Amino acid sequence: MKKILVTGADGFIGSHLTEELLRQGYDVRAFVYYNSFNSRGWLDQASVDVKREIDVFSGDIRDPYGVKEAMKGCTHVLHLASLIAIPYSYHSPDTYVDTNIKGTLNVVQAARELEIEKVVHTSTSEVYGTAQYVPIDENHPLQGQSPYSASKIGADQIAMSFYRSFNTPISIIRPFNTYGPRQSARAVIPTIISQLAAGHTNIKLGAISPTRDFNYVQDTVNGFIDIMNSDKALGEVINIGSNYEVSIGDTAQLIADLMGVSLTIETEEQRLRPEKSEVNRLWADNQKAKQLIGWSPKYAGIEGLKKGLKETIDWFTEPSNLAQYKADVYNI
């Protein structure tokens, strides 16, 4: 019987992943960020039966002793805990080194010492930077175009070094732009939806010409579980993406169409990345995931994107959910 530790279980993807693992019958320990409010992040929104089944560990991924304690008795670790907001990485880059690089070191070091059966480390499509060729496969050069992406490149390399140096059983999942219910408004899709749902027709965004490969959260969650359960994934980096490219501007218009509203986009200076830091194009090649672990997106192409956006809109436009967001405030 697998006992799975999910770090970052209180976050957007982590909470969805924790719920799905429990639905599938796994024994799950949720590592959440300690705080004096006794908040478990998005896990507080889980159903009563799900919350009853979760073994919660409150700690800090930067603390090697707490990390090792959390991992005791576990067979598998799905490591998602990290700082992910790109604008905040311009503001406080040192925290990204501590959390993303040192936090990952704490996980893989403990995994080595405790002889964990499998660690799935979470990367990001941002490590590729602006595409040098498309679609982007796992052999694409890595480019640190923000302190965030640089810290994730470092974390990925730390994780893989333990596989190569000590044969620690590690796989790296590299999700492209995941979206869905409960995502932070620092991300573009929740930013668009929350502004429109709050009644704004003139919405504020950053650059709208860059393209992204949006991946619905359930597809990302399935990717984690498939990689966790595949021996073929050991020592591998695997893209999880939809293989569909769309611009930010076209995405905003699609959301407005689905919500039945008109919109005008205003470019707000503070939402723009520095010119050389902007990732202008992302488009995932997902053939390796299909061939190696049998994963493929269920929300694929334009129709899959529409379906995922509709489910996301339905969640955000529920008044009790929308009330948790500050549509008038730029969230870095």
- DSSP letters for 27-38: EEEEEEE--TT-
Q: Residue 51 has what pLDDT? A: 86
Reading the block at residue 161, the tokens are 């070094």
What's the average model confidence in pLDDT over 205-231? 98
pLDDT category of residue 5 using cuts at 50, 70 and 90: very high
Q: Residue 46 has what pLDDT? A: 87
Q: Residue 4 has what pLDDT? A: 98
pLDDT score of 316 more than 90: yes
Q: Residue 63 has what pLDDT? A: 98
Cα separation, 147 vs 151, in Å, equals: 6
Torsion, CA 260, CA 266, CA 272, CA 278, rounded to 10? 60
From start to end of the chain, where are the E strands?
A: 3-7, 27-33, 55-59, 76-79, 118-122, 170-175, 177-179, 202-205, 211-212, 214-216, 237-240, 246-247, 264-267
Note the pLDDT tens digit of each residue in 185-216.
999 999 999 999 999 999 999 999 999 999 99
Q: Residue 1 has what pLDDT? A: 80
pLDDT category of residue 227 using cuts at 50, 70 and 90: very high
Q: Among 1-15, 44-58, 289-303, where is mean pLDDT lowest? A: 44-58
pLDDT score of 39 more than 90: yes
Q: Residue 204 has what pLDDT? A: 96
Cα separation, 273 vs 263, in Å, equals: 23
Alpha helices per DSSP H over 167-286: 188-197, 217-228, 248-259
Note the pLDDT tens digit of each residue in 245-274.
999 999 999 999 999 999 999 999 999 999
Q: Residue 3 has what pLDDT? A: 97
pLDDT score of 318 more than 90: yes
Q: Residue 12 has what pLDDT? A: 97
Cα separation, 290 vs 140, in Å, equals: 18
Q: What mean pLDDT value characterizes the chain?
A: 97
Residue entry with tokens 């930010």: 248
User: Does residue 304 sit in helix, strand or coil?
Assistant: helix
Q: Residue 136 has what pLDDT? A: 98
Q: Residue 328 has what pLDDT? A: 87
Q: Residue 332 has what pLDDT? A: 86
Q: Is the pTM of this model over 0.85?
A: yes
What's the average model confidence in pLDDT over 84-91? 96
The CATH topology of domain 3-179+216-240 is: Rossmann fold (3.40.50)
